[in-house]
Copies of this chain bind each other. A is one copy, B any other.
Amino acid sequence: MDRFMQAAIDEARKGYDAGGVPIGSVLVHQGIIIGRGHNQRQQRGSAILHGEMDALENAGRLAAHVYREAVLYTTLSPCAMCSGAILLYGIPEIVIGENSTFQGEEALLRQRGVMLTVYDDPQCKALMERFIVERPEIWYEDIGEPGT
């Protein structure tokens, strides 16, 4: 596992250990992690702090050129909101832990020229599968679905 995806998984595990949705993300610029985060729905009662959004927020205000030279690592395929943030800031490359428990807006991102790599990582999948079984109501709320 590359060290940036490992850092995103570490964030996801922090989220899980705190009772939250286990999705983590890191923003990398010139080989350095400049923002880390994980989903904060349960912990901070947030409707917008998905893992990717939390990493972007924790990176702080950045000049346009930094985003345009950055890579975003995320343990799960980015939803419409997080994909929209990627498009707003022109982040050119996204590395995704897995997309089998949820598939976000990958087609839209590719269509707009974003380079995507999907690892199909068993740790990412196992964490999400476990959470979806344990706390389905939080998971469906997180993706705006009425649930089961």
Contacts and interface: CB of A to CB of B under 8 A. Distances in A.
Nearest to A89: B144
A16 interface: no
Count copies of this chain in the complex. 2
Listed residue (A41, A57, A84) with the most chain B CB atoms within 10 angstroms of its CB? A84
A62 B145 CA distance: 11
A116 interface: no
Interface string A52-83: 01001101111111010000000000011111
A47 interface: yes
Contacts of A144: 64, 67, 88-90
Interface of A: 41, 45-48, 53, 56-57, 59-65, 67, 79-85, 87-90, 105, 108, 140-141, 143-147
